[in-house]
Chain A
Amino acid sequence: DQQVKQNSPSLSVQEGRISILNCDYTNSMFDYFLWYKKYPAEGPTFLISISSIKDKNEDGRFTVFLNKSAKHLSLHIVPSQPGDSAVYFCAASSDNNDMRFGAGTRLTVKP
């Protein structure tokens, strides 16, 4: 059961522009949401998170937005850099365990 969905398998943006990665979830019990970044041959690296009591969390160039009514979250990267090119996974958890991941979106930032 795909409780977390990333419907765009890939995204390509120009360096300096905004990257917007989207994620939808179905389980209303999820209360903690995370974005991970993954390079080839490495494990996922934690990027940013948001709890269900907030609707926005910002960390440098990265901002995550949560729309609970729509069960949707997004990751904004501004400005995008070539080093941001990677696969981005959205993840969600409830009761502090059993995290569910989306299938990932491959971001390519072109110089």
Chain B
Amino acid sequence: GDSVTQMEGPVTLSEEAFLTINCTYTATGYPSLFWYVQYPGEGLQLLLKATKADDKGSNKGFEATYRKETTSFHLEKGSVQVSDSAVYFCALAQYSGNQFYFGTGTSLTVIP
């Protein structure tokens, strides 16, 4: 079945460091891919999405490119801030069956 695999956390970075959180997926057909973020004590928020191969989603300095050849959707940010500390979830959705799958989440802590 369809699934999403994220890199294990937690990840701790210094402010202004470069961030990569790896995400790979297994799916039939052409799923849509998402990154959601969960700040402490809050619900999830959509960070960015891509609905077809080679699409790049971007928001708040974060980027991810839908790579069908490597079945990946890695999240990157050039310079993280303390306020980026949160849990990041990669997710996949299929139009057919309307199923939604989340990865296990990666906790990021940015220290000043």
A and B part of one assembly: no
